[in-house]
């Protein structure tokens, strides 16, 4: 096939996995309106315009403000059921077979919502949609670094007792510069002892030292974003030699200012240097993207040939926390679908 062919024509039908996706960041405007209306509240034109403003951001701080406001609109476990159903439908439309989705107990605490009830609503909805032909969803509980060590330790305990809700592990986002990684080593060690899977946001708003600490101090299995590793060739070499996957989200990096321009995005360089890079959408509704959109972006804006983009999709499937047999099956499904569409991999 020709590389000039629009990505939507070839990317959409290929099976996919996604491993860096925040549930609250998937809420599109029609879904948000539906959530509010289901509670019996009227959404007139002025209210809809105010809600639409949450999807336009002046800078990263404004994005965080909009994100908090959006999350504050979720007032009941039933609201989470609605957004999970919408997410499942959208992923199914993109041929996503499997996704690992971040949920944020810190967001629930701010809203006064019981985590067990929300996770029950989310997992029940995800399972029902999967039984109807949708993707399989499993969940990672995402901590906030600046809330401190105690909060991360509580997150690990919550994840351990939430396995019945398809919770498989923990992550940590927030301000990478707020507290040193060494303070969280015990919490991540305990997560590993309990058999929970681990990832952490690093190399996004802090530099390559943050990536090194994630590998050497926190000893996580994957690194969220990780793109600023490119600033230190030694860190890139270590990432490659340790085969630690990074969860790349190109559009997010541009929208938040982590990367100045598409020409500057380091994803192609990291791949060329042997890093296990994966492709994901992060907060797709808030950044105006989707997983198919990220495939298109990697091809059209980052200049990666379509076969290289498909290999990123295969690497994403291989980096999931699925059992090895399931990983291998999904990787092969991606390969076979690409070959049928004339994409050699």
CA dihedral 277, 291, 71, 49 (to 10 degrees): 140
> Does residue 222 contact residue 245 with C-beta atoms inside 8 Å?
yes
Token pair of 170 as six digits: 């923990």
Known catalytic membership, residue 336 = no
Place of tokens 């000893």: 219
Give the integer Cα–Cα distance in Å for 37 and 180. 43
Strands 197-202 and 246-248: unpaired
Token pair of 7 as six digits: 């990505």
DSSP state of 274: T
DSSP state of 147: G
> Does residue 31 contact residue 86 with C-beta atoms inside 8 Å?
yes
Instruction: Kindly give, in sequence order, each residue whose CB lies less than 8 Å from that of residue 134, ignoring residues fewer than 6 positions away.
Output: 88, 89, 91, 92, 126
Q: Single out the catalytic residue among 18, 176, 204, 247.
A: 204
> Does residue 3 contact residue 305 with C-beta atoms inside 8 Å?
yes
Distances (CA, A) of 6 to 2, 59, 293, 297, 299: 9, 30, 11, 11, 9
What backbone phi and psi angles, to 5 degrees, belong to 282? 65, -95
Place of tokens 């701080």: 61
Place of tokens 């007792």: 161
CA angle 273/274/276 to nearest 5° reads 130
Instruction: Return the active site residues.
Output: 204
């Amino acid at each position: 096939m020709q590389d000039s062919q629009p990505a939507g024509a070839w990317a959409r039908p290929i099976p996919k996995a996604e491993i860096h996706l925040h549930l609250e960041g998937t809420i599109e405007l029609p879904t948000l309106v539906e959530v509010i209306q289901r509670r019996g509240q009227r959404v007139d034109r002025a209210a809809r315009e105010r809600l639409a403003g949450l999807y336009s951001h002046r800078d990263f701080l404004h994005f965080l403000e909009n994100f908090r406001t959006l999350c504050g609109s979720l007032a009941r476990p039933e609201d989470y059921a609605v957004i999970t159903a919408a997410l499942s439908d959208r992923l199914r439309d993109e041929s996503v077979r499997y996704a690992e989705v971040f949920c944020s107990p810190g967001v629930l605490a701010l809203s006064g919502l019981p985590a067990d009830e929300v996770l029950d609503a989310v997992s029940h909805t995800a399972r029902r949609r999967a039984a109807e032909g949708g993707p399989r969803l499993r969940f990672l509980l995402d901590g906030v670094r600046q809330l401190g060590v105690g909060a991360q330790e509580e997150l690990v305990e919550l994840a351990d007792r939430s396995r019945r809700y398809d919770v498989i592990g923990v992550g940590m986002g927030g301000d990478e510069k707020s507290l040193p990684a060494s303070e969280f080593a015990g919490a991540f060690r305990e997560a590993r002892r309990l058999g929970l899977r681990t990832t952490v946001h690093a190399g996004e708003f802090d530099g390559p030292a943050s990536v090194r600490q994630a590998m050497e101090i926190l000893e996580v299995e994957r690194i969220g974003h990780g793109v600023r590793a490119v600033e230190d060739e030694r860190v890139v070499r270590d990432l490659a030699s340790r085969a630690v996957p990074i969860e790349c989200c190109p559009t997010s990096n541009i929208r938040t200012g982590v990367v100045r321009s598409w020409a500057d995005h380091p994803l192609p360089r990291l791949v060329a240097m042997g890093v296990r890079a994966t492709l994901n959408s992060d907060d797709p509704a808030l950044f105006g993207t989707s997983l198919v959109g990220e495939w298109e972006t990697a091809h059209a804006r980052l200049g990666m040939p379509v076969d290289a983009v498909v290999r990123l999709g295969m690497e994403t499937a291989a980096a999931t926390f699925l059992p090895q047999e399931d990983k291998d099956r999904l990787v092969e499904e991606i390969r076979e679908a690409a070959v049928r569409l004339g994409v050699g991999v």
